[in-house]
Amino acid sequence: MLKLDWNLVFTIINLLILSAAMWHFLFKPVRKILDARRAEADREAALLRVKSQEADAAKARYEKCLADTEEERRQILQKARKQADDEYKKIVSNARTTARKIEADATEDAARSKERILADAEQEIADMIALATEKNMGDGGGARVDHALYDEFLSKVEETK
Q: pLDDT band for position 78 (50/70/90)? A: very high
Does 26 map to a domain? no
Does 93 map to a domain? yes
pLDDT at residue 64 in the model: 96
Interatomic CA distance for residues 20 and 78, integer angstroms: 83
Asked whether the predicted pLDDT for residue 139 surpasses 70, the reply is no
**Cβ-count burial of 146 within 10 angstroms (0-12 exposed, 13-18 middle, 19+ buried)?**
middle
- The CB density around residue 111, as the number of other CB atoms within 10 Å, is 10
Yes or no: say if 156 and 124 are a contact pair by the CB < 8 Å rule.
yes
pLDDT at residue 25 in the model: 87
Does 119 map to a domain? yes
Does 114 map to a domain? yes
Query: What are the CA-CA distances from residue 84 to residues 70, 72, 80, 88, 94 (Å)?
Result: 21, 18, 6, 6, 15
- The CB density around residue 149, as the number of other CB atoms within 10 Å, is 20
Domain hosting 60: range is: 35-160
Does 45 map to a domain? yes
Does 11 map to a domain? no
Interatomic CA distance for residues 11 and 18, integer angstroms: 10
Does 6 map to a domain? no
Asked whether the predicted pLDDT for residue 141 surpasses 60, the reply is no
- Full-model pTM: 0.43
Does 138 map to a domain? yes
Query: What are the CA-CA distances from residue 71 to residues 59, 62, 79, 81, 118 (Å)?
Result: 18, 14, 12, 15, 69
Could you read off the pLDDT of 82-136 as tens digits, one per residue?
999 999 999 999 999 999 999 999 999 999 998 998 888 888 887 877 777 776 6
Domain count for the chain, please give it.
Answer: 1
Could you read off the pLDDT of 13-49 as tens digits, one per residue?
999 999 999 988 888 889 999 999 999 999 999 999 9
